[in-house]
A and B are shown apart, each in its own frame.
Chain A
Amino acid sequence: MLLRIRSLTKSYRLGSSTVPVLRRLSLDVASGEMVVIMGPSGSGKTTLLNCVAGIDVPDEGEVVLDDERVNLGSEAARTWLRRHRVGMVFQFFNLIPTLTVWENVALPFFITKERGRAVEDRVEQLLVQVGVEGRRDHYPFQLSGGEMQLTSIARALAHRPRLLLADEPTGNVNPRVGRTIMEILRTTAAREGAGVLMVTHSPEHAAWSDRVCFLKDGVIAAEQRRSGQCDEVASIHKQLVELGI
């Protein structure tokens, strides 16, 4: 199993009260598997991704990636995790505004001080793969929203992460780009053997996954296995209605 999450608990303090967000949540993701998390706002989807990526620290529980328990209490370990094992895609793209498209995609290699032909080839390959090779020298503000998101996906894939975390990657793009993004995430997971954990509100995009987990009140309330029926969204809708999401 690529990712094993066990009894993950996270709560936030709001003044004098404590608001539980994740309640002893457990989840597995296999290599090459694409898992989608759906749930209402405030159900803990983003918090779950943050805890797995190590940009937030859970109160309890464990995260095991590639059979290695992530030391969530260590800042250095979490930084290492993000540097080498995990890639992230956000709803709001989050590109570095001062770097060109090429440099944004190459950023993970700059951080790990990797250079050379192999790195350049990898970046070029990703630019072609996501279809922004013609924009390689442009700055983010010169791109459309879709191009920004494609660049951000290329950056997340650059260092060949074992796990790709995507937080509503199609939330701010048009349907055509949304489909392209889903295709890229799907094929990447299959080709590179990486797991994908994606949060979305869209049943159409959730239909691309191998499994859909429905998160409610900090726990996985239901799960639906899929078998490549990208056009079949009725069952997802039905499940959402049943759960009152």
Chain B
Amino acid sequence: MNLFLAQFLARRSLRHHRTVSLATVLGVAIGMTVVGAILIVDHNSVETRIEGAASADLQNLPSAGLHPGAARILRVSFERANRTAQPSTTESTFPTQKGLARSGFAVGTPLAPRGEEDYQAMRLAVRLASVMAFAVGAVIVFYTMRFSVASRSRELSLLLCLGEDRRNVALSLLVEAAILGLVGTLAGLLIAFPAAAALIDAGISTTGRVPARTFALPTFELAGMSLLSLCVCLLGAAGPVRALYAMRIVEVLQPRFLAPDIGERSLRVGGFGWLVPPVIAAGYLALRPFLKGWLSVVHFFLLETGFAAVLAVVALWWMPSLMRGVIRLAESVLRPLLPLETLLVGRRLRLTSHKLVFTVAGVTLVFSLLVALHDVTRALKQEIAVWSREALAPYVFLQRSPGYGADADALRNAVESRGLYLFRMSQKVTGELPFRLVAAADVNPYLEARERPRLDPGRVLVSRTLAARFALSAGDRLVIHTDAQEHRFIISEVTDDLGFFADDGQYVDLKSYFVFSDRNPLFAGPLEQTLGDYAAARKRGGGRLTPGDVAALGPTYAPAKEGQAVSRWQRQEIDRDFLIFDFILIMTVLLAAIGVANGVLIQVLAREREFSVLRTVGVSRAQTTRLLLVEGAIIGIVSGLLALALGHTLGAISVSFLDRFTLFEYRLAFSPLAGALVCLLAVATCCLAALYPAVVANRISSAESLHYE
């Protein structure tokens, strides 16, 4: 084996195809940067506990507000109004939060920290998203290796003609891939360190928690990913090496004009082939409800994701046919405007659609990730929006001014004259049984006006989040077992519009509470004495409170927080938590652009002669540029449409998983505007990526390309 010649040929080839080599290195480097940076950020996020996450134990309840003479609470249990009802969530072998401790829980065996699963779900999503970026990089490497070698088939055949051993030529390809992989991986690692440092400095983590201030490196994981990156590059050369062994020198060396390198390939779905995927999909949809019942939440999520991946692979098989369809459509639209460009590009793309599968797959992967993440963030924001419409937006949250006792008459007059509801509340007891008291005299008029059940002693309201945690519904009973007796409370309603006060703390904790009325014997004591320390005011007829309304409640109450402002802050927090996805997405869109530029560039280089002929028969530089822009646009349109289908599928699966896995209610909502924007972004990215190849195409020397074979 002639290693010297192999590395000489590899280096010479890399130097000769500088731009294509650079694109490959960039593909590897950016993929590695994303994964490396995420691994480092994750390593520095995972151990950090959020401030205030620790909560008071239920055993501390007496000191928190129970009657001094009350016995200690030992256990909390639930009695179901309808015992035959199926649980809303299948028991999972993996921890989920919904329906956890359905029958109750014993004090002293505290549950897992609230919200921990949400953070782990986000971590998982971040890591998966970064792997997607890595996969796009890998697609670029595979594509480049395959086509750069295909474009050099004549050169490689000549080497074989001159007596070079196939093994040695293959070795040169592997050396080339190894050099590209090594340079790309090292560059990616080097960029990953400052990128991770910048992310951590900006307060971004993979869990939404504040990252650690130390900068620790996950050495083992980074080394593993670097090795994997190198392996991907070497694997990228595997296909070309196999093709090299199968190469028939006589065929490759015949005059180029006789080689049929175009033509509609047999890679198309014909006849009943089209029926297979719909039949599989229909079969799956028929089985889905049963699978959903049998499998755990996580298993079901994995099954659905796997099914979506299979559909995506089927879409790859369909892609050439699909592309031909879209191209025909685009042709009919563009023909009146750009007849020449439509003819040339349309024909070229249709006849070589099988060559564009990798490019389209890469772009589709990126933009489907974008669509899926948009669906998830939209569902998260929607959840906050729905909740804040009930619990935040109508309210101004007030605190009793220090030194002022409640002047009941003056307050009542102000409330009446201003047309307000004022709900006086106690302090909140935190822990596994979070609750607060609310003055029955304040809430019952509000409830009666809406023909809802009253809140009297022996009854309790429960927030949606806590109801989801314990799978509770109206009519169920909450039983608090003390060492003296059992206290039963009927759950009169599951609602978010009463009992919330905008404290600082973790989102899931803030939204989890029971609301008892005053005058319950169990709570008569220090807790009831705090009734009125906090209050929430809202307009009787709806709308926002004016500054005059708030002033009228003074000097007894001073405004603490305005509901709308809290709502806005919550959304900003979600945006901040998702900044890390923005980082991944920007990098993957960049990768997609490099992939498309590289793909189009390789095509341009392979079609030098064609462009030269066009120039010779009078096609101008502007028309050449337009040709490639139209080509980029068509790749963008096909990729955008496929990305919408695949992305929404992934988004629907993820949202459904989050809805069942976490305590919050997530609903998938499609946005036609966002869909159109994603398609536009895909088209714009592909058009931009086609600009450089257009410059190269315009630089091609017609004189040289046309006169030599």
Binding site for B on A (CB under 8 A): 46-47, 50, 53, 55-56, 75-76, 79-80, 82-84, 88, 90-99, 103, 107-108, 110-113, 139-142, 145, 148, 155, 167, 172
Contact with A along B79-121 (1 / 0, CB 8 A): 0000000000000000000000000000000000000000000
- Asked if A145 and B344 make an inter-chain contact with CB atoms under 8 angstroms apart, the answer reads no
B window 690-709: CB within 8 A of A: 702-703, 706-709
CA of A50 to CA of B340, assembled, Å: 25
- Asked if B618 and A90 make an inter-chain contact with CB atoms under 8 angstroms apart, the answer reads no
CA of A148 to CA of B613, assembled, Å: 14
CA of A46 to CA of B621, assembled, Å: 23
CA of A82 to CA of B612, assembled, Å: 12
Residues of A within 8 A of B617 (CB): 82-83, 88, 107-108, 111, 155
- Asked if A82 and B260 make an inter-chain contact with CB atoms under 8 angstroms apart, the answer reads no
A-B pairs, top 9 by smallest CB distance, nearest first, are: A83-B618, A141-B260, A55-B702, A98-B347, A94-B613, A50-B703, A56-B703, A82-B618, A110-B340
CA of A56 to CA of B615, assembled, Å: 12
Residues of B within 8 A of A113 (CB): 339-340
Whether A82 touches B616, Cβ cut-off 8 Å, given contacts A94-B609, A96-B344, A139-B262, is: yes
Residues of A within 8 A of B257 (CB): 92-93, 95, 140-141, 145, 148
- Size of interface on B: residues with Cβ below 8 Å to A: 36
For A103, give the chain B residue with the smallest CB separation: B343
- Asked if A75 and B621 make an inter-chain contact with CB atoms under 8 angstroms apart, the answer reads yes
- Asked if A141 and B259 make an inter-chain contact with CB atoms under 8 angstroms apart, the answer reads yes
Given contacts A79-B618, A95-B613, 12 further A-B contacts (CB under 8 A): A50-B703, A55-B615, A55-B706, A76-B620, A83-B617, A92-B706, A95-B257, A96-B610, A98-B262, A98-B352, A110-B339, A172-B255
Residues of A within 8 A of B621 (CB): 75, 79
Give min CB distance, A232 to chain B, whole Å: 30
For A51, give the chain B residue with the smallest CB separation: B703
Residues of B within 8 A of A91 (CB): 707
Contact with A along B245-267 (1 / 0, CB 8 A): 00000000001111111110000
- Asked if A99 and B347 make an inter-chain contact with CB atoms under 8 angstroms apart, the answer reads yes
Residues of B within 8 A of A94 (CB): 609, 612-613, 616, 706
CA of A88 to CA of B621, assembled, Å: 19
Whether A111 touches B340, Cβ cut-off 8 Å, given contacts A76-B620, A99-B347, is: yes
Q: Which has the most chain A C-beta neighbours within 10 Å: B352, B615, B707?
A: B707
Give min CB distance, A103 to chain B, whole Å: 7
- Asked if B343 and A145 make an inter-chain contact with CB atoms under 8 angstroms apart, the answer reads no
- Asked if B620 and A79 make an inter-chain contact with CB atoms under 8 angstroms apart, the answer reads yes
Asked if B326 is an interface residue, CB under 8 A from chain A, the answer is no
Whether A141 touches B258, Cβ cut-off 8 Å, given contacts A79-B620, A113-B339, is: yes
For A112, give the chain B residue with the smallest CB separation: B618
Asked if B351 is an interface residue, CB under 8 A from chain A, the answer is yes
Whether A98 touches B613, Cβ cut-off 8 Å, given contacts A111-B618, A141-B262, A145-B257, is: no
Give min CB distance, A94 to chain B, whole Å: 4
CA of A96 to CA of B347, assembled, Å: 10
Give min CB distance, A124 to chain B, whole Å: 18
For A100, give the chain B residue with the smallest CB separation: B347
A-B contact pairs, 25 of them (CB 8 A): A47-B703, A53-B616, A55-B615, A55-B703, A76-B620, A82-B617, A84-B618, A88-B616, A88-B617, A90-B706, A92-B256, A93-B257, A95-B613, A97-B261, A98-B348, A98-B610, A103-B343, A103-B347, A111-B619, A139-B263, A141-B260, A141-B261, A141-B263, A145-B255, A155-B617
B window 342-380: CB within 8 A of A: 343-344, 347-348, 351-352
- Asked if A145 and B258 make an inter-chain contact with CB atoms under 8 angstroms apart, the answer reads yes
Give min CB distance, B610 to chain A, whole Å: 6
Asked if B614 is an interface residue, CB under 8 A from chain A, the answer is yes
For B349, give the chain A residue with the smallest CB separation: A98
Q: Which has the most chain A C-beta neighbours within 10 Å: B256, B620, B709?
A: B620
